[in-house]
Structure 1
Amino acid sequence: MGNRFRMNWESLLSAERLGDKTYQPHRNRSIFVQDHDRIVFSAPFRRLANKTQVQPLYENDHVHHRLIHSIEVSSVGRSLAMRVGHWLAETGELPEPQVPDLADIVQAACVAHDIGNPPFGHSGEEAMGAWFSEGFANARGLLADLPAGLRPEFTAFEGNAQGFRILTRLEMYRGDGGMRLSKATLGAFTKYPVTAPDRECINGGSHHGETYVGLKKFGIFVSDLPQFATAARSLGLPERTHEQARYWARHPLVFLMEAADDITYNIVDLEDAYTTGELPFDLVRRLLAELGGKPNSNAPGMTEAEEIGYLRARGIGSAIEASVDAFITHYDAIMRGTFSGDLIGASRLGEAFAAAKAVARERIFTAPRKTELEISGRRIIANVMSGILPVYEDLARGGWDIAALSPHSRQLVRALSLDLRDIRDAESALHALADFTSGMTDRYALRISRMLSGA
């Protein structure tokens, strides 16, 4: 598609349900509210309560985990979308009655944004990818049977793609639309509208010398591409090709969902680091004041923790305003699918956020306790994956017949409640292995690792 193509909100806010052509809107509860409710009542969302945000296996109850983070992101995302929606209505870009739809869609996408993340945070993604990489390097049995072109979606395991798989395949209507969410919510969820093999073909995200933000990672497994393509057609997302590869422009609401995540974790990571003692009060206060502005006067009687909480709230409010301004500034490029930045980076607070990120990289992410636990987490994930791989190899030897499993494999299936449905080849077997591993909580992964190793 050429750059003249401009997306339109009538298509972008599609209320069609993936996998359910018979759906009829409810008078008192929109499909976008239903999307949100289906996500928050799902088991994968509930498990986020015991998955690492930044601090692994922390005993301090005030440190964030993935579920609290997701709820906070959804709050920020809703505020962003309401402000953008009112601006769109004022400029005649969007009918006024659809402003709440915009907010509901972004809120639903935000609560789902981390639903595919494995235990131990982003280090868990790296651990799973490393295990697959080592397995393919010494490929035998099931790992050797996977077509080489599909290996990148395992060796660079991606929680975003796993999240799309959960939403559209694994939960509720299994294999038939999954949660059957609206196409608008799925569009707003998908940060990286490209498969791993197609992204590899586009030379790691470089297209004619330019890097499009939607190609930074991959967000769709090859087996799930038909579902995304169906949603993209209804949404009117521009499809682009490069040689034999294809990808899509981002849905405009992705930028709001992404900004909500950026705002929340960058600011709250600082607060958590103060809470755990990894960063001193004066440094955190200075960084937050640069984001939210210094208050006119200090409230008397505030404890240090209360002052940090106050500055955190001011920082989030200021970042929301700056992100809305950036969306408005880059609106035309966003609607043409050519904007290739992020709203926070493009905003007036870009430098202040860059400073906060630099401190996080140097002082939080490299903290001794976090590093030690990430090393342990990597070993735990490897133990789990190596321990259950023989079940899938046994299934392959038996022609994918569950009844042909050995007694020991059956014992493992019972002990771990392994789901062996829909496995018919190496690709689906390895996805099932990844489904189980990425779905584990931190503590459950530790327990199963100990069980499998006989500890």
Structure 2
Amino acid sequence: MAEMEWSRLLDLEPLYRPDRKASPRRPAFDQDADRITFSAPFRRLANKTQVHPLYDHDHIHHRLIHSVETASVGRSLGLEVGYWLEEEGKIAKGGQAIVAGLVHAACLAHDIGNPPFGHSGEAAIGAWFAERFDRGEGLFCDRDACFAEEFEAFEGNAQGFRILTRLEMNRPGGMRLTHGTLGAFIKYPVTARVRKSIAVHDGGLKKFGVFESERAELETVAARTGLIAGDATATWWRRHPLVLLVEAADDICYNILDLEDAFTTGDLGYGDVAPLLSEIAGFSPKDDRGDSLAEKIAVLRAVAIHKAFEACSAAFAENYDAIMGGRFAGALVSASAQAEHFAAIESLANERIFTSPRKTELEVMGRNLVHRILDGILPVIEALAAAGWQADGLDGYPRQLQRALGIDLRHARDPYSALHALADYVSGMTDRYAVKIAEMISR
């Protein structure tokens, strides 16, 4: 199997803008990061769940803070790996900054497509669509034409790619980020329908990462960055090497910081959290400084993050040939010297954090809110279909509802695109806005 080439992987040409000239004073990857940072979808992450829904505690992570912290760790990983690549002569001098910049930008955007209420929100959206497709009525009667599988397993990664390349700025190419940043962003370069036909282990494609509606953009990014085709049909691709650094930064942050949040909320005690962080950090806090327990946890967290990104950087170098050949199907955290310690954190999180009573109760509430909203706004889409997909043809209550809620129907031209407009609207909500809209439409 051929190997990917860094000269193509680090492509700094923007999507659909071959005429945009590079600035010698402002690198293209910095422009990518700025466009993401100043976008409305990124801003909305400030009121979207990381782990604990609708928490009033100021020190609990939400998606925006998580994204910023992940980007910080990602930049450090990029600098570390980029330095190694330069020293080994695998990239030209100056390439370190490009590697770090692309990973930083992709990390900023990595959760931009997440719906309200976190992963339980994804599951709620998917369950609602699955129920509708099971009935097979109206807009949901043709599973194949509507690519039902991508709605029934609604995926925030695919929604994120849709936002970046289509919805934001409402133009071809969306934000028009560089091919390199988009390649580093696409965690799973495959659509839902194609994903069903390939083996789970192939290329680490545990899920799908792109909707059929953005297939052309995926093909463009894959071609420009030189991703390796997964098979002779070239309908899916091996992952971009920098995806592994983005994924590692995310894994490091959510594992370690979920522990700190659980200590802050009282779901876990100091005796639960400190030993796990100490294993990664390589030391135990001393008792002679007069630090509070929270301060000790903070120190352990900081050192643990540093040790973890060092271990993941080393894992990238150790698995370099497999990564460049598209044969590395795992995660850097799992391939690193810290793998056992991260597995212990994940086990504790599954047993104690993700099943905490308050979190579970709010997930149930969030699921019901999402379903109520989708039920409440479906009549707008049905009325649009009856009006021949002409928004000007809406009248009565559907027109009132569309105006009151600001539902964007510009991309709704047939049943498939209309269902995406429905998912776009709901997945773009913040947690609190979802509560508000659910109350409005159920009165």
Fold match (TM-score > 0.5):
yes
| 1:355-406 Cα distance to aligned partner (Å, 9 max, x none) | 0000000000000000000000000000000100110011001110112112
Question: d(CA) in 2 for partners of 1:344 and 1:240?
Answer: 24
Instruction: Please state how far the C-alpha of 1:325 moved relative to its aligned partner.
Output: 0.7
1:137-172 CA-partner distances (Å, limit 9, x unpaired): 112111224536711100000000000000000012
- Which residue number corresponds to residue 245 of structure 2? 256
Give the superposed CA RMSD: 1.2
Contact 2:145 2:416 in 1 (8 A): no
Residue of structure 1 aligned with 2:44, choices 47, 67, 76: 47
Say which of 222, 230, 242 aligns to 1:232: 222
2:401 is equivalent to residue 404 of structure 1: no
Does residue 305 of the first structure (1) align with residue 294 of the second (2)?
A: yes
| Letter in structure 1 aligned against 2:342 | F
Stretch moving more, 86-95 or 45-54: 86-95
Say whether residues 1:392 and 2:381 are aligned partners: yes
Query: Residues 271 and 213 from structure 1, CA distance in 2 versus in 1: closer, same or farther, beyond 3 angstroms?
Result: farther
Report if aligned partners of 1:287, 1:356 keep a CA contact under 8 Å in 2.
Answer: yes
Partner Cα separation in structure 2 for residue 299 and residue 150 of structure 1: 62
Of 214-223 and 374-383, deviating more is 214-223
Deviation at 1:422, TM superposition (A): 2.5
The equivalent residue for 2:72 is 75
Residue identity in the other structure for 2:230: R
Q: Residue 290 of structure 1 aligns with which residue? A: 279
Aligned mate of 1:196, from 173, 183, 192: 192
Runs of 4+ in 1 over 3 A off after TM superposition: 295-299
- The question of whether the paired residues in 2 share the 8 Å contact of 1:149 and 1:197 is answered with no
Tell me the equivalent position of 1:341: 330
Per the alignment, residue 54 of structure 2 pairs with 57
- What is the alpha-carbon distance in structure 2 between the residues aligned to residue 227 and residue 323 of structure 1? 30
Q: Describe how 1:299-378 pairs up with structure 2 within 5 A.
A: 300-378=289-367
Is the CA contact 1:160–1:190 (under 8 Å) kept in the aligned structure 2?
Answer: yes
Query: Is the contact made by 1:259 and 1:342 (CA closer than 8 Å) also made in structure 2?
Result: yes
Q: Secondary structure at the match of 1:54?
A: coil
Quick one: which amino acid aligns to residue 237 of structure 1?
L
Determine if contact 2:191/2:210 at 8 Å carries over to the other structure: yes
Deviation at 1:179, TM superposition (A): 0.2
Aligned to 1:383: 372
Match of 1:180 in 2: 176
Structure 2 unmatched ranges of 5 or more? none
Q: CA deviation at 1:213?
A: 4.5
- Counterpart CA distance in 1 for 2:330 and 2:204 is 9
Contact 2:189 2:236 in 1 (8 A): yes
Moved more, 244-253 or 442-451: 244-253
Matching of residue 35 in structure 1 with residue 32 in structure 2: yes
Deviations 1:198-217 (A, max 9, x none): 01122xx44xxxx1254200
Question: Among residues 88, 92, 97, which one is paired with 2:89 in the alignment?
Answer: 92
Give per-residue Cα distances to partners, 1:332-351, cap 9 Å, x unaligned. 10001101110000011100
Question: Who is 2:107 aligned against?
Answer: 110
Secondary structure of 1:176's counterpart equals coil
> What percentage of residue pairs aligned between the two structures are identical?
56
Q: Distance in 2 between matches of 1:240 and 1:374?
A: 37
**Structure 2 residue aligned with 1:217, among 184, 201, 207?**
207
* Counterpart AA for 1:251: H
TM-score of the superposition, structure 1-length normalised? 0.96
- Judging changes above 3 Å, is the alpha-carbon distance between structure 1 residues 164 and 307 closer, same or farther for their aligned structure 2 residues? same
Question: Equivalents in 2 of 1:398, 1:332: separation in Å?
Answer: 56
2:438 counterpart letter in structure 1: S
CA displacement, residues 255-290 of structure 1 (integer Å, 9 cap, x when unaligned): 000000000000000000000000011110111101
Q: Is contact 1:193–1:214 with CA below 8 Å preserved after alignment?
A: no
**TM-aligned CA deviation for residue 423 of structure 1:** 1.4
2:107–2:246 contact (8 Å) kept in structure 1? yes
